[in-house]
Amino acid sequence: MNKIYMFGYASQAKTIIKELPKNEYRIVIIESNKKHYEEAKVDGNLDVIMMDLTDDDKLSELLIEDDSKIVALMEDEHLNLFLILSLRDLYPNITILAISNSIHTASKLKLAGATNVIDLHDVSSFTITNILEKPVATKLLDSFLGINNDISFKEYQISKGSFLDKKLIEEVNFELYGLLLIGIIDFSVSDKFIFVGEGISHKINEDDIIACIGKNEDLERFDIILNKGEGK
């Protein structure tokens, strides 16, 4: 069974834990905040540890195996950065996934030793600040934790003649292209970003903007397909 060490038990961590298959992952929650520690216990999590995360001796006692995964989700960005520095020094071969709400923080987390950083501000036209609380993101994290992928965001503006023009969102299987659709700016409704799965059916029209998550190579390939007017 795959083991995941979840450092931090706030809203993002709760969503990830809820969606990951219980029969595939053993999740160990580690907290330095007593309130969050108690919440994790009350929520029924079996492996919960209260620990001073600034104490390298305590971190080394965890004896984290190389094939385990670490998710750094501390609410305090400075503590998150310090934690990654310490974990990378103690466990040089471990996979560390970090979440960033800031472009500047993302670069620091990478320099500190995070294997992968999901930067929630890496979208040019709009900001997805709550993406980890959406069901679609948990599928991404499931894949991310199982395989070390180069994953990022990309937006596409639909051009005239695109195979997506005039199609309903539910008619398009984005998984065929290795992508997860996050949402759309449907200008027939408003100029605001709308997450998929909010109970509203949307027709994709010319000039609308869609946002997807996937491996960089799949994102670029899909861009070519859109420009050529091809599609499945």
| pTM, entire model | 0.54
Higher-pLDDT residue of 121, 35: 35
CA distances for 147 relative to 20, 142, 144, 176, 208, angstroms: 14, 9, 5, 18, 32
For the chain, the average pLDDT equals 78
**Looking at domain 153-228, does it have CATH number 3.30.70.1450?**
yes
Tokens (6 digits) for 193: 């970003």
For residue 3, what pLDDT band results from cuts at 50, 70 and 90?
Answer: confident
Give the integer Cα–Cα distance in Å for 194 and 39.
31
What are the residue ranges spanned by the domains of the chain?
A: 2-149, 153-228
Average of pLDDT values for 98-116? 75
Largest Cα separation within the chain, whole Å, is: 61
Kindly report the CATH number that applies to the domain delimited by 2-149: 3.40.50.720
Question: Which range has the top average pLDDT, 29-33, 145-149, 160-164?
Answer: 29-33
